[in-house]
Amino acid sequence: MGKEQSPQVNRRTTRSSSSTTPNSKATGEGSKIISNTKSLTVNDLVLSDESINLEELINSFPHRRMQILELIKLLGPLNSPMIPLFVYGGASTGKTSTVLEIFKHLNRPFIYSSCVTCYNPRILFESILNQLLLHRKNESNGYSSAKRCEKPSDFVNLLRDALSTLIDSLKGDLGKSNSKKSASQVNGKMIYLIFDNLEHVREWDKSSNMLPFLFNLYDILKMPEVGVIFISKTSLDTYHSDTGYVEPFPVYFPDYTEGDLRQIFLKNQSNPKLYSSFLDAVLGPFCRITRRVDDVTNAISPLYKKYCELLDDTGVIPNKDMKSELYRHINPYISQSLKETFHVPSQPTLEASASKDKTKRKGITKLGVSESFDKMDFHMSTCAKYLLISAFLASRNPATLDASLFDSTGGAGNQKRKRKSSGKSMEQKESKEQELLMKGPGTFPLERLLAIFQCITSVAEYSPDDEDPQIDGQGADGWDSGLMSDVLLQLSSLCSSNFITKGGSCPLEGAIRYRSAVSEDMALKVARSLKFPLSKYLYRT
């Protein structure tokens, strides 16, 4: 997927990859010993050895010129203090990569932590302190952090100490080596803290304390040599707080327009004219659905392969006739692809689709999708399958119908002849049923589930079952009692794998209620694999 992907998506290099490469280049001993044993220096706080100039930076992020210049102006000249910044915008608009590349260009030291990988306060605090104290987790220290820090009060004290030592060392370096400035030397004596993915902090346990604390961190520290930058997917007004907080300065990254996307995709193409005629055909329909770069990339890259099928030589520049021919060829695949949800196919399905092409199915094969829609693609025990179907029925049908649907003979109750109802009441019934469907699956207590399960399984053993030949030999009682003991175990494993969800207990009844979480398609698949007539039991007028 190399060239066609837009540069934003794979631009970010991790800190460890960029800091181990200079090590392996410098120590040419070729030792297989892990080069992590070399201790970190301040130089490792900068993104990488090579620096890029402003023109390269702007060219590598098309249509972000305004935002890049704004950020550089707000960061200001070397060693000038800064108020906290808040960079926000939709997903995959290039916020993180732009900010990191700007720091690469300016060669200033920064500490980066993402609130996705640091998913609670302790990990966040320890990650920041590790980076500041130039501590790396490795075998010798048992992969532990430099300092143990759980509470914000400890964090602020340790942070202050770590920042002052680091800033002193930066000032010392600056004084010493003013004469020889190598490219990898860090610039300036300010340190910047970058908090990425801030919107996840809202869902943390102590978020009502944590968010105002992070926003007020700059004021609490009172150190002008520190700059704070927040990156978030949502704007500042979605961060609610009881008593407010110090507001950082907002910088907005808008989504790309269709023209912007076009330019992004045309970058680094081997044959721009061909690709541009491809984009003429394809980009319009997809941009009506979404303009996110990652979604559109994943959707159109398989289409491009299809587009170039007719051409023997992909380096050719198409003329008008060729363009219209290619457009006719690709058109049906576009409408096919629009029905899917831009998912990235995993490797097995790619191979399966290749084998499907060989079998020459009639009609248009779906690109990259090969699941057969009538079979289950994972294995479940018979008892679990019956339990799942019972849960689905219990959620789907109202409780009052149980008596008529599952009578004592165990079969679907003989459909009594209904009185012919007038057209209007039929409509009302239908609309009520639709409402019930739209509201979603209902809850049921454990006893109802077990009752339905009993009814269904007592029917099943009378029907010929060619899956498990042993069952034919056993009597009805033996099968039942053998099954009952681990039904509750199966139920708990279904709950923990989220096929059935456990709700809170109703205050009146006091028992726990369950809810089925499978869709109708899934239930039909399961029923089909058991040869169970599901449709007979579903509540339908």
Interface residue list for another protein (CB under 8 A): 70, 73-74, 76-77, 79-83, 90-91, 151-153, 156-157, 209, 212-213, 216, 219-220, 224, 233-238, 243-247, 249-252, 254-255, 287-292, 295, 338-342, 434-435, 437-441, 501-503, 515, 517
| Helix 382-396 / helix 446-460 crossing angle, nearest 10 deg | 120
Could you tell me the smallest distance in angstroms from the CB atom of residue 449 to another protein?
15
Q: Is 383 left (phi over 0), alpha (psi -120 to 50) or beta?
A: alpha
Nearer to another protein, 367 or 383 (CB): 367
Could you tell me the smallest distance in angstroms from the CB atom of residue 292 to another protein?
7
Query: Are the C-beta atoms of residues 206 and 241 closer than 8 Å to each other?
Result: no
How far apart are the C-alpha atoms of 285 and 287, rounded to whole Å? Answer: 6
Nearer to another protein, 39 or 498 (CB): 498
Nearer to another protein, 73 or 320 (CB): 73
Could you tell me the smallest distance in angstroms from the CB atom of residue 235 to another protein?
3
How far apart are the C-alpha atoms of 228 and 225, rounded to whole Å? Answer: 10
Could you tell me the smallest distance in angstroms from the CB atom of residue 382 to another protein?
26
Could you tell me the smallest distance in angstroms from the CB atom of residue 82 to another protein?
7
How far apart are the C-alpha atoms of 317 and 47, rounded to whole Å? Answer: 40
Could you tell me the smallest distance in angstroms from the CB atom of residue 256 to another protein?
9
Could you tell me the smallest distance in angstroms from the CB atom of residue 212 to another protein?
6
CA-to-CA dists, residue 172 to 42, 106, 158, 398, angstroms: 12, 20, 21, 76
Could you tell me the smallest distance in angstroms from the CB atom of residue 125 to another protein?
12
Nearer to another protein, 185 or 208 (CB): 208
* Residue 112 β-bridge partners: 194
Nearer to another protein, 79 or 165 (CB): 79
Nearer to another protein, 37 or 431 (CB): 431
Nearer to another protein, 69 or 316 (CB): 69
* DSSP β-ladder status, 191-196 and 110-114: parallel
Could you tell me the smallest distance in angstroms from the CB atom of residue 210 to another protein?
9
Q: Is 504 left (phi over 0), alpha (psi -120 to 50) or beta?
A: beta
Nearer to another protein, 192 or 532 (CB): 192
Could you tell me the smallest distance in angstroms from the CB atom of residue 265 to another protein?
17
- Cβ count within 10 A of residue 20: 16
Nearer to another protein, 286 or 453 (CB): 286
- The two three-digit tokens of residue 480, written as one number: 């039942």
Could you tell me the smallest distance in angstroms from the CB atom of residue 441 to another protein?
7
CA-to-CA dists, residue 12 to 16, 60, 91, angstroms: 12, 13, 15
Nearer to another protein, 13 or 208 (CB): 208
Q: Is 514 left (phi over 0), alpha (psi -120 to 50) or beta?
A: beta
CA-to-CA dists, residue 246 to 86, 219, 223, 228, 236, angstroms: 12, 8, 16, 13, 11
DSSP 107-146: T--EEEEETTTS-SHHHHHHHHHHHHTT----GGGTT--S
Nearer to another protein, 335 or 404 (CB): 335
Determine the longest span between alpha carbons in the chain, in angstroms.
Answer: 100
Torsion of CA 257, 260, 261, 265, to 10 degrees: 180
Residue 498, helix vs strand vs coil: coil
